[in-house]
Structure 1
Amino acid sequence: MILADTALFQCGVLLYNRTVVNIKNKEVLMRLLITGGVGFIGSNYINWHLQQYPGDEIVCLDKLTYAANMAALADVVKLNNFTFIQGDICDEKFLEMCFAQYKFDAVINFAAESHVDTSIISPAIFTKTNVEGTGVLLDACVKFAVEKFHQISTDEVYGDKPLDYDWRGFTEESPLQPSSPYAASKAAADLLCLAYARTYGLYVTISRSSNNYGKWQHTEKLLPKIISLAEHGQKVPVYGSGLNKRDWLYVLDHCVAVDKIIRHGKAGHIYNVAAGTEMSNLTFIKLVLKILAKDENAIEFTEDRAGHDLRYPMDCEKIKNELDWTPQYAFKEALDETVAWYRSRML
């Protein structure tokens, strides 16, 4: 269902080499479809993009699953250049209606089932949304001659490396060796995107990022989960030894990276995006507990996750050299602010 104009939201990507047109009595430089825009990274991107490019128009399409939070878009709901549509990227006829009506210049696909634990229990829904849904979007882009399609992927498609691995990290040319059903579904979607680029000439780009942190993340994810449990006096579970390592990327740095790829990335290319803040899960949890002024006795070691990846070291020289992207937010400061934001919502 397309919501009434009282719930208008808009997502945008910069429109290149196109004459300014009049839409909704407003001059629009580019009309962009953001799928999964009510989720964590998608909503942050929408808010960031409309601040940077107020002349663009964004249409946000989201199924509104359990992980969606409409409050994350409260600041853009009143804007004339934002439209929200509730819908499923797997619904081919519905998507075609949207593409026919809005004539998008670019599409960024944030829509995905993303929780690894859930993918182990219920893998089929990940195949449906992450693979089939991406395919339906790609078909619509080809049919309606969309200029650019960007796929949001993950470092997990590469599989893992040993904890003591000290050579160059995964590059964009590294083989795909996903461990979980989630990672496998994202790898399949990436390959599908590249196939559409070659077969149909669709202008496709892909970004593979490390773990994101920031506002509006669902409490199933590690950072808000730690905060919620610790603030309520509950034990904070740690899988296995807790020595598995992750790189932590502030979500607004990720937004800038996506924008640079959309504007200047090469068709058919993949870009790794990470912050260089790799640490063990145990170290990260202890750091968050310290910020919260909570005792480390809150930590409780539990049985390890099935197929738990050890670490995802990534080489990000390509995006740094080609697109001049580097993280701009200091890790500790951004983490402090993020933790404070979650605590303020829990008090």
Structure 2
Amino acid sequence: MSTVVRIAMVAGEASGDLLGGHLIAALKKELPDAVFYGIGGPRMQGQGMDCWWPMGKLSVMGYWDALKHYREISGIRRQLKKRLLDLRPDIFIGIDAPDFNLGLETSLKAAGVPTVHYVSPSIWAWRGGRIKKIGRAVKRVLALFPMEPPLYEKERIPVTYVGHPLADIIPLETNRQEVREKLALPRDYPIFAMLPGSRRGELESMADTFVQTAKIIRERFLPDAVFVVPLATRETRLQFEAAIYRQHAADIPFRLLFGHAQSAVGASDVALIASGTATLEAALIKRPMVITYKIAKFSYRLMKRMAYLPYVGLPNVLCGRFVVPEILQDDATPENLAEALVKLYEDKDNAKAIEQAFTELHLQLRQNTAEKAARAVIECLR
């Protein structure tokens, strides 16, 4: 191993950037002279990583979106592979983005570069045959969830369970009233967090539905309800504002935030969330939620045919049962979503049961993730 350790990394979206940022910080404690390069986001760049392409280039949603951007993404992967094979880093870490990273990892591993895949692809949910491909691609898998290691051990693929960093970051208890005060929200009104997604494609699919849902809640059920909507970027904020205008909902009390998704959920009684990492955040904050999603019909049919779990939301997958409702695709009408949200708001006993289930999940996932992941990476280096 050379004195300066060269670590190549690729993350494809915000959740991977979070993992990558924490991992780089933990690795720098053990390897202060290490250099990091590849593809990442602002958190990884903030830790000193040299990013060769913007991470947003890899963020696609569903098969249809992937097909539309196929040429550009495969061009980036081709150039990246050539550059990495020329540079021969001491180790390569692919963070999630399996469709992009596994092929890259296979080529690098074949050329003698140790490869680690951080975040197990969803072999527990669908595409189970992919596990053999993962075994050919990587020297080690870092798994976030406790049901994953046995699947790899069965196939004799080296795996380390590291837990989830959000479980380390998010406190075991979040005081609703304190968060409301910080956000200058009313103490005693019904407050709904609405998280329509962090990507443009998600807002295109979900923004109008979320706005219409809020209108129904106010007009038919809870006239004093307030809606807190954290949005990841200026672009997604503009998309949501356009949906408010289209749906003639200027009089609905939407409180739009830049970021602060955890605060929005912490202040809420109930959340409506587009399926993804945000549902796990809400579970760790112990709030009742309705999980929803809409994608291109073709992508949905394909995914439904390949899936073998009855649920798609991470909190339900991890608890192994329907702790919170999922209303997806054609069922995700504003009427259905509004009724489910109001039902959750009114059922205080159910809210307590949900809190208990999510507390157990939180303790299971709290593993000091970044340090565990860093130790596994250093083990692979040596």
Alignment TM-score, normalising by the size of structure 1: 0.37
Larger helix proportion of the pair? 2
Alignment TM-score, normalising by the size of structure 2: 0.34
